[in-house]
């Protein structure tokens, strides 16, 4: 990762960039107190029972997200996906819990350490969180958050009555958002993983729901992922294989429950004007040049769900340009004037046309990762069935485990409603690992409780603080009852984020990783919120001869 961070930082420090609208108005990271201006507390008692009482401040959700600039401003972020510093809550996952009144499905989220540039256009998107004493309200510290959080609704995992995503999701298909085109048992191709470099465009806002506020891109409308590890692809016409840089690009105006172009939505849902601009960015090629004579080429694969007409504009710069000597590809998606409802989903591979696309001293080892089984050591429901939703990933390839159980309804049967502890996986993944790099094996998810039954019960994020709003919240938060033995919020089940290097593996090794995570509190008193040792993931990693992950992954352009 150090190799890529250093080269990308130099590349972006000196080079070309895509300007955002209004982003350059800030000369430094803004203060979180900006998100508090004009707002006052709005206390509400969401339940009372005997001596138990739960009071929440509705001000933090009215609105939960506030634009730093404006709803029409499109902000650009570039940088590297990192784990949340100093926390067991790593992110780069499908969120185990989300506020139901502003979501149809759980978000996919990740954290980006912004690239450094001479004009600080990306690092200025960070936030200075102003820490106040809870009693005196006096400022005690100001802390710079070293990352920008990014979110986009996953489009998967909804099952409750009245949710427009439920029918498709229960059958194992995507309902849109950040997984459009996904069908049951497909691998999710466009979500980033730790170590990837990303170009993100979307709405820059304050997350007021977790004070002091932090900045986010939420929702994103375009995420281009330059994978941290190379791919081995087959050139059909030339009958040979080459190592390539993989760039997964996904763009859509279907951002989330409150930002989309769907028909029949409430008037407070904001339209996403994708056709207001073209989308232009550049991505560095990461595989070293075999010789000065090697020519940089590319291939394009159109993914499921893509509805964008025509081709992207592509320019190759094998020798860099006046600002950098690093090879890169310049990409333009000509969206201006086209429909806001289109989806762009394509993978671009860049490669050197000499030999196998790399120098002899650039050592790459192929590994096969076999996920064998997942076993719950602790069930989240004492008496009834547990309603698990589990996502797995190896490097940047994600699967939704519920889809692989042979039942018609994946969220109300099988893993979605069970007392069974052990579940077979039997899925294989191929990873190409350069010397000194690593890759992640991930597992995570949640156990759905009563709050999931409210997903998609939308409320106006700018509702006034009055009796009508309080009554609506209390009526829809009736699941927040101390009489519910399983807790009223979705139960966190912990996560696995195992990073592997060649030194960990040898020729072959079996692994058993246990879930871990910070303790999460619930509105209700019956769930302990513990995440450690909830489940165990068993898998094998073995060195293999170089073979293709997907022989048809690319074809000559």
Encode pLDDT of 302-330 as tens digits: 999 999 999 999 999 999 998 889 999 99
Query: Containing H/E element for 328?
Result: strand 328-333
The backbone torsions φ and ψ at residue 166, rounded to the nearest 5 degrees and listed phi first, read -65, -45
Using an 8 Å Cβ cutoff, are 313 and 329 in contact?
Answer: no
First to last CA, the chain: 30
Using an 8 Å Cβ cutoff, are 378 and 516 in contact?
Answer: no
Among the listed residues 487, 401, 395, the one whose alpha carbon sits nearest the alpha carbon of residue 444? 401
Using an 8 Å Cβ cutoff, are 347 and 189 in contact?
Answer: yes
Q: pLDDT (tens digit, 9 = 90+) per residue, 352-407?
A: 999 999 999 999 999 999 999 999 999 888 778 999 999 999 999 999 999 999 99
Which range, of 79-88, 274-283, 341-350, 481-490, averages the lowest pLDDT? 481-490
So where are the chain's domains? 2-544
pLDDT tops 80 at residue 258: yes
Does 516 or 483 have the greater pLDDT score?
Answer: 516
Q: Which whole number is the average pLDDT over 94-118? A: 97
Using an 8 Å Cβ cutoff, are 317 and 329 in contact?
Answer: yes
b vs e for 374-386, b when ≥16 Cβ sit within 10 Å of the residue's Cβ? bebebbbbeeeeb
pLDDT category of residue 556 using cuts at 50, 70 and 90: very low
Report d(CA 293, CA 321) in Å as an integer: 17
The backbone torsions φ and ψ at residue 503, rounded to the nearest 5 degrees and listed phi first, read -65, -30
Q: Which residues have CB under 8 Å from 264's CB, separation 6+?
A: none
pLDDT tops 80 at residue 50: no
Mean model confidence pLDDT for the chain: 91
Using an 8 Å Cβ cutoff, are 337 and 283 in contact?
Answer: no
Which range, of 139-143, 303-307, 418-422, averages the lowest pLDDT? 139-143
Report d(CA 484, CA 54) in Å as an integer: 15
HEC string of 424-454 equals: EEEEEEEEEEECCCCEEEEEEEEECCHHHHH
- Per DSSP (E only), the strands in 418-528 are 422-434, 439-447, 491-492, 496-500, 508-514
Cis omega (within 30 of 0) on the bond before 301? no
Does 52 or 510 have the greater pLDDT score?
Answer: 510
- Give the per-residue pLDDT at 434: 98
- Give the per-residue pLDDT at 414: 98
- Give the per-residue pLDDT at 237: 77
pLDDT tops 50 at residue 208: yes
Q: Which residues have CB under 8 Å from 259's CB, separation 6+?
A: 203, 219, 253, 269, 270, 272
pLDDT tops 90 at residue 6: no
Q: Which whole number is the average pLDDT over 221-245? A: 95
pLDDT category of residue 450 using cuts at 50, 70 and 90: confident
- Give the per-residue pLDDT at 13: 38
Among the listed residues 529, 542, 451, the one whose alpha carbon sits nearest the alpha carbon of residue 490? 451
Q: Which whole number is the average pLDDT over 237-252? A: 94
pLDDT tops 80 at residue 286: yes
In three-state secondary structure terms, 209 is: coil
* Angle formed at CA 500 by CA 497 and CA 504, multiple of 5 degrees: 135
- Give the per-residue pLDDT at 480: 64
Report d(CA 48, CA 56) in Å as an integer: 12
pLDDT category of residue 14 using cuts at 50, 70 and 90: very low
Q: Which whole number is the average pLDDT over 418-438? A: 98
- Give the per-residue pLDDT at 557: 37
b vs e for 387-413, b when ≥16 Cβ sit within 10 Å of the residue's Cβ? bbbbbbbbbbbbbbbbbbbebebbbee
């Amino acid at each position: 990762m150090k190799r890529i961070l250093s080269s990308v930082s130099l590349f972006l420090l000196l080079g070309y960039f895509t300007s955002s609208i209004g982003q350059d108005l800030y000369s430094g990271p803004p203060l979180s107190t900006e998100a508090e201006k004009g707002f006052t507390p709005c206390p509400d008692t969401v339940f009372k029972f005997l001596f138990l009482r739960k009071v929440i401040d509705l001000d933090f959700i009215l609105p939960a997200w506030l634009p730093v600039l404006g709803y029409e401003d499109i902000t650009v972020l570039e940088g590297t996906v990192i784990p949340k510093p100093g926390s067991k809550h790593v992110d780069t996952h499908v969120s185990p819990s989300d506020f139901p009144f502003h979501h149809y499905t759980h978000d996919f989220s990740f954290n980006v350490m912004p690239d450094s540039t001479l004009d600080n256009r990306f690092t200025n998107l960070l936030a200075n969180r102003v820490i106040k004493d809870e009693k005196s309200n006096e400022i005690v510290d100001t802390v710079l958050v070293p990352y920008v959080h990014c979110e986009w609704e996953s489009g998967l995992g909804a099952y409750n009555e009245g949710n427009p995503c439920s029918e498709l999701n229960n059958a194992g298909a995507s309902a849109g958002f950040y997984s459009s085109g996904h069908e049951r048992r497909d691998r999710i191709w466009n979500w980033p993983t730790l170590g990837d470099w990303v170009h993100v465009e979307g709405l820059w806002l304050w997350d007021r729901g977790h004070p002091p506020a932090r900045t986010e891109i939420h929702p994103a409308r375009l995420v281009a992922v330059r994978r941290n590890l190379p791919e081995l692809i087959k050139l059909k016409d030339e009958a040979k294989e080459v190592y390539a840089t993989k760039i997964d690009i996904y763009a859509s105006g279907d951002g989330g429950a409150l930002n989309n172009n769907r028909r029949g939505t409430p008037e407070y849902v904001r339209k996403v004007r994708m056709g207001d601009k073209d989308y232009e960015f550049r991505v560095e090629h990461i595989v070293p040049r075999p010789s000065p004579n090697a020519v940089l080429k590319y291939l394009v694969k159109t993914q499921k769900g893509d509805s964008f007409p025509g081709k992207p504009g592509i320019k190759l710069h094998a020798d860099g340009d006046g600002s950098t000597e690093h090879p890169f590809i310049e990409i333009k998606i000509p969206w201006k004037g086209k429909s806001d409802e289109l989806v762009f989903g394509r993978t671009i591979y860049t490669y050197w046309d000499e030999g196998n696309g790399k120098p002899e001293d650039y050592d790459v080892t192929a590994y096969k990762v076999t996920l064998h089984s997942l076993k719950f050591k602790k069930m989240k429901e004492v008496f009834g069935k547990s309603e698990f939703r589990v996502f797995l990933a190896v490097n940047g390839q994600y699967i939704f485990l519920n889809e692989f159980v042979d039942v018609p309804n994946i969220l109300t049967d099988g893993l979605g409603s069970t007392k069974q502890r052990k579940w077979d996986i039997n899925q294989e993944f191929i990873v190409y690992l350069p010397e000194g790099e690593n890759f992640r094996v991930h597992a995570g998810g949640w156990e759905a409780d009563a709050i999931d039954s409210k997903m998609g019960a939308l409320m106006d994020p700018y509702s006034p603080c009055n009796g009508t709003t309080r009554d609506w919240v209390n009526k829809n938060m009736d699941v927040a009852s101390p009489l519910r033995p399983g807790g009223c919020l979705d139960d966190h089940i912990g996560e696995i984020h195992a990073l592997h290097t060649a030194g960990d593996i040898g020729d072959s090794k079996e692994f058993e990783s246990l879930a871990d995570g910070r303790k999460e509190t619930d509105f209700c008193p019956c769930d302990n919120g513990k995440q450690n040792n909830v489940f165990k993931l068993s898998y094998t990693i073995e060195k293999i001869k170089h073979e293709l992950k997907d022989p048809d992954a690319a074809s000559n352009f």
